[in-house]
Every structure is written in structure tokens, then in C-alpha cells.
Structure 1
Amino acid sequence: MEQHLRKLRISKIKELDIWPGNRTQIEQAEFKDQLIVKYECGHPNQHTIKCMVLNAYFNRDVVRASHIWKYCTQGIGLTEFGLRYNDLNCYRNGLLMYTSIEQAFDRKELCFIYDPFQAKLILKILHKGDDGLMNSMILDKNDLKLYKNYTQFKDIDGKSLSLPKNVYPFRRLLNWHARCAHEYAKTKKWISTSDNFDDFYDLSDLVSLPGDDLNEEDII
């Protein structure tokens, strides 16, 4: 399977680049609740949940339960990555992110790159420059007043995703999103054509990765 995935390169990007997808306006409450429990993002005040990027709590309605492999695909394409159709609604195919971060992820303006030596997923902003994200506030005006959180996108560049120990989203899917996002960013001239990163599957040959990247039901 890994040899197959190494060959899944530029020739497949157009076919399997699913971002941005058709956005789901109504969230699946069951999926969101699953993410809150598995990623330990709940709060005694049940009206607030944690954004996994900002590592801060906000009202439930402004933290999106985002499918990494978009819900609108109905799972088509997951088998290319050794996953199953029903992995679409697995918690490992989801992230909890403040709305503007989730939108930037979907637009391929930022991505997450796995660092196997730190065992962390690191956020990388791709849309830089004068018209980019870096100096933009993450919270909208109403939330700025409510939470007094003045974090800008430049403050989360290089920040690690907040995760419980040895609990990971599907890194193979985040890796593919990052690869598609890099190719897109190069066409938009946001980044240099020489800006690359190590493939998740190449790295997995070099180091022991904590947590199997398949669905936990497959772990024997």
C-alpha cells in the first residue's frame, strides 16, 4: 500500500484534490460530539468547546467540526489511501477549528505537516504576502469583543495542533491536503516552487510513528 501511495503524486492531484468542497451548512451533531469526546475538547460549561489550533474555548457555534476528507464526497476517494467509505465519519477524519481557520484550511491557504520527531502536526500558513492571511485577525469582530482574543494568523504559523497523547487525525489525509495545498500555493505564487516537505509515508520508513494511522478498529 505504501508503495502505491508514493506513486500518488501530481498525476493524481487534479483527480483527488477535493478542496474546497461544497460546504455543509448544517453540522452533524453526532460527528461533532464524537470529536469533542475523542480529542478532549469539552468544557464543564457545555456551551463552549476547544479550538484545536488556538487551544482556547469558544461558543460551540463558532468552532466548526470539519471533515478533513470532505463530507460532500460521500467517502469516494478514501480507498486510494487505504481507508474505507465509512471512515468518512470517523473522528479521525475530523478537526475542531474556529470558523475562519477552518475556512482557510478548506481554501488551501494553510495546512498541517506532521513532524515525526516531535510527534506533532504543525500548522503552516501558505497564503502570505500583502494580500495574505498573516496580519488578519482570526476572531470576527463580535468574538473579539466577547473573548478579548487578538490572535492573528501569523501567531499560529508553526503552532502545533492540540491533541491528546497518541490520538491523531488521519495523517495520511492531512498529508495529501498539504500536498495539494502546496501545489495550489505555487500556482498562486504564494510560496516558492522549491518549497516542499517530506512525504508522510517516506518518513514512516525512517522512524517509529506513535499511533497507527489506520482506523483503530484495524489495529490487531
Structure 2
Amino acid sequence: MLLCMVMNIGLPSSVVIASHIFRREHDRLKDYFVQIADIDDVRNGLLLFKPIESAFDDLDIAFLVDKEDQFTLKLFNPDFKSKLLVDSLTQKQWDALGGESIPTDWETSTSPVYAPYAPEFNVLTTFGELDGKPLRFP
């Protein structure tokens, strides 16, 4: 299990990925924006649930610094507000969460539906619910 730094819950390692806060493609600009010598410095790293990392890569979300120097998730794509995180998973990733054991009517449930292999993760979580959430650094 690895901790997703947005949701602050443990998930199977196969559905968590390491990502850069300040992107590798902007390495030449890092001296102007961040105070790290190496783009691969651990202080520039995040562990994210794969759907969150994918949305971050596609610029549907970003991490902004608030007045207290806390990174928070900002949802840029309004179409993602009601999008379930699990809608972005491959079948293999869904299976890693125990998706095959989830009742078939889970999408119409009015109460949380927790993933068998990630018991803190509600599979009904949307990107909109993450808007404004602070990153949790270990």
C-alpha cells in the first residue's frame, strides 16, 4: 500500500504513481520558480492515485499554493466535477482495488462503496470532491 498525497489514504501500489510537482519538461525554468537543484529532488515529488496523476498531466487539475504555503488541488476542467476517479482506471487497475468483488449496482448507491483492497477508498469519489483538498506530505 502507498499513500495518495491528495486523498491521504492507502492504495495498492499498482494504482499509485510518482509524479513531479514542477514538471520535468520545465527543468530549465526551475531556478526561477523553485529552490531545488535537481528536478528529481524528493521535495519535487508526489505520490498520486493514477487517475489524479493523469488529470494533473492533462492539466485538468493543478496544485496551487495558498496563503499558508499549503499546496491544494484546483480543478480546472468543469467537466471533471462529477467525474468518478475510477472512470479513468484500466480493468487491471480496477481489479487491483478489488473491483470484481464490488456489488454490480455500486454506481447507483446512495452510500459510500469502499474498495475491498483499499478499504478507505470510496469508489464513488469524484474529482469535484477533491477540489480544494490540501496535499498531505509525509
Partner of 2:32 in structure 1? 80
Moved more, 104-113 or 132-141: 132-141
* Residue type at the aligned position of 1:123: L
Q: Any stretches of 5+ residues in structure 2 without a counterpart?
A: 100-115
CA distance in 2, matches of 1:82, 1:156: 25
Partner of 1:49 in structure 2? 2
* 2:11 counterpart (44, 51, 58): 58
How do 1:165-204 and structure 2 match up within 5 A? none
Do residues 158 (structure 1) and 132 (structure 2) align? yes
Give the match's secondary structure for 2:43. Answer: helix
Offset of 1:79 from its aligned partner? Answer: 2.4
Q: What per-residue deviation string (whole Å, max 9, x for no partner) do you get for residues 38-83 of structure 1?
A: xxxxxxxxxx11000011111112111002233355x322223364
* Residue type at the aligned position of 2:42: Y
Report which structure shows greater RCO (CA 8 Å, sep ≥6).
Answer: 2
* Residue type at the aligned position of 1:68: I
Partner of 2:110 in structure 1? none
Q: Which has the higher strand share?
A: 2
Q: What per-residue deviation string (whole Å, max 9, x for no partner) do you get for residues 122-155 of structure 1?
A: 2110100xxx111111133613724362211111
Task: State which structure, 1 or 2, has the greater radius of gyration over its C-alpha atoms.
Answer: 1
Query: Residue 82 and residue 136 in structure 1: after superposition, are their counterparts in 2 closer, same or farther (change >3 A)?
Result: closer
CA distance in 2, matches of 1:163, 1:68: 12
Q: Which has the higher helix share?
A: 1
CA distance in 1, matches of 2:52, 2:43: 18
Do residues 133 (structure 1) and 83 (structure 2) align? no
Runs of 4+ in 1 over 4 A off after TM superposition: none
Give the match's secondary structure for 1:104. Answer: helix
Partner of 1:120 in structure 2? 70
TM-score of the pair, normalised by structure 1: 0.45
Q: Any stretches of 5+ residues in structure 1 without a counterpart?
A: 1-47, 165-220
CA distance in 2, matches of 1:144, 1:114: 35
* Residue type at the aligned position of 2:84: M
TM-score of the pair, normalised by structure 2: 0.68
Q: Percent identity?
A: 31
Partner of 2:21 in structure 1? 68
